[in-house]
A and B are shown apart, each in its own frame.
Chain A
Amino acid sequence: MEQDAGSAGKLRKIDEDIWEVPQDYKEGMRVPGRIFLSETLLGNLENEALEQVANVAMLPGIQKYSMAMPDAHVGYGFPIGGVAAFDEDEGVISPGGVGFDINCGVRLIRSNLQREDTLPHLNQLLDGLFDAVPSGLGSKSKIRASESELDEIFVAGSQWAVEHGYGVKADIEHCEGNGRIEGALPDQISKKAHKRGRPQLGTLGSGNHFLELQCVDEIYDEEAAKAFGLEKGKVTFMVHCGSRGAGHQVCTDHIKTLTSAAKKYGIDLPDRQLACAPAQSKEAQDYFGAMAAAANYAWTNRQVIMHQSRGIFEKVFGMDQDELGLDLVYDVAHNVAKLEEHEIDGEKKKVYVHRKGATRAFPAGHKEVAKAYRNVGQPVLIPGSMGTPSYVLCGNEAGMHISFGSACHGAGRVMSRSHAKKSFSGEDIRVRLEDRGILVKAAHPSVIAEEAPEVYKSSSEVVDVVHRVGIARKVAKLVPLGVVKG
């Protein structure tokens, strides 16, 4: 692991868990950096991640700080866990602040099932899910969207899925932004992206994507937990995936255009992956419209996967989804850029907030929080690594002032995939987790090794920092029962 105490030594402690990257850390920074880390997590911060925070601070029109959440680690362009807001007129839009897997995200489904009632059926459930949701590299979907359907999906997101029988109306109301970003431009999606998108709808993909059966292990905030429908001992189900090949292709296509655009508009790029253009330029708006379309595809994808999964629950338990209480708690995006209103230096301003491996965390009363949760705040879903707890948090007002209403997105890797494969055997890990009562199914054992619990930071430590800083508060802890890895 690359570590450099020298660079971390240049950080200035602002408060408990809050560190500043001074503006003179690197020439060309327009604002300082802010990193939210405990002393323990600081030890894991890689030099390259710190450089990436500084690079983002050099982009035109950046507001307040270039930020990194406690799960931050090296990415490309932005660090993973990076958050930055750019002025609607003076700022830029960059695919480097969104990533290739546009709207990679997480959704959480609750149930009326008790842990004890579920355990005897765990194997059957996992087998059913593994069959119903194509996963792993090279797998094909059972659905094939037509060209015109694909364009509708790009524009309508979750709504398309529900209108076509994949789910119920309440699902839409329980998604960030109703499972859709407005202003999608399907004509900015290349033929290649169409070709990749058509056969992959309803597929999980590979890498860190997963389906997980969990159980509510602890409640920290009774009021919010009640609003979210979470009860101790009850089973939950989590889906983690994104926009698949369509999203990857959108990013690849538009980085090429934006590289030329950056030159044209005279923007100096500290890293080519930060290719960008002035927010109101045609190039930037074309990318934004394409990104919105890919984000909408991702919401549809997770909606279809949830629908297929509900069918498996119904089959295994011989009850319908209403009896089982399989309600969508929430769905959050963690790789996306959005036009939002924030208060900056006492003034309300529209900014393009880029969240790359970070989650929106809006507080109670905010008009963009789903009606059902407006009195408590937006659910923030933080998946753990395989075999470790996941957390449900709730957005706080303080987050709006501290981090543009943003929180962490996961545990954050500390070890590379190749290193993990050399260090662990997938089969050993599977057996070890099984001994702890956690079943794992994967397309290939090496996927298990790559995602071993040891290759991530502690999800508990990451979530505690977010809670202490006040960005979002802990609501519930979910422990894994069974996992399907892509």
Chain B
Amino acid sequence: MSAEKKYDYMEHTADARFRAYGANLEEAFENAAEAMFNVMIDTSDIPCRTSIPIEVEADDLEMLLVEWLSELLYHFEVEFIVFSKFAVIGINHQDGVYSLSATACGEFIDLDKHAFETEVKAVTYNNLLVQEAGDDTMVQVTVDT
């Protein structure tokens, strides 16, 4: 199942804001990750050569979304991997804690090959939205650039 549009960007003076869509939360979270990396580089040319597991936890869904994207930025910066494909295996809610498990894949940064544009510095809570509505699930994120 794939929505017609995975994500779109909205006007924001200082930073980048986008909405990502999906048939469920997992897909919307995957598309949000792709939207974020597409701010920095065209991810369509980046093959899946190396993959890492991601596990995050949070008190609520909005925080979980920030944690998920922040964790990807962290690995991008520290492991020098630029990610292009994301698979959210599951988002669970148990005993008041939300958890997400996923894999992200991409390739090691090669500055001769990868032409980076805008750097995403961090994921903000500003105007953060998670609207879970089955087929029409939507998340909105503003990233600091």
Task: Enumerate chain A interface residues (CB-CB to B < 8 A).
Answer: 1-2, 46, 73-77, 80, 99-101, 136-139, 192, 195-196, 205-207, 245, 248-249, 251-252, 255-256, 259-260, 271-273, 275, 413-419, 421, 443-444, 446-447, 450
Contact = CB atoms under 8 A, between A and B. Distances in A.
A229 B63 CA distance: 49
A80 B13 CA distance: 10
Interface stretch (B22-30, B47-55, B87-95, B116-124): B116-124
Contacts of B15: 75-76, 416
B34 to A, nearest CB: 16
Number of contact residues on B: which range applies?
A: 35 or more
A196 B14 contact: no
Nearest to B17: A416
B143 to A, nearest CB: 9
Given A271-B125, A273-B124, A139 B111 contact: yes
Contacts of A74: 12-14
Given A76-B126, A271-B126, A273-B124, A138 B11 contact: no
Interface in B49-69: 58-59, 62-63, 66-67
B40 interface: yes
A245 B77 contact: yes
A76 B59 contact: no
A249 B74 CA distance: 8
Given A75-B14, A413-B14, A414-B13, A450 B74 contact: no
Interface of B: 9, 11-16, 40, 58-59, 62-63, 66-67, 70, 73-74, 77-78, 80, 109, 111, 114-119, 121-128, 142, 144-145
Given A249-B74, A260-B59, A444-B116, A1 B124 contact: no
Contacts of B124: 76-77, 100, 273
15 contacts: A73-B14, A76-B125, A136-B116, A138-B80, A192-B74, A245-B78, A248-B73, A248-B121, A249-B74, A260-B59, A272-B126, A416-B16, A418-B11, A444-B115, A450-B117
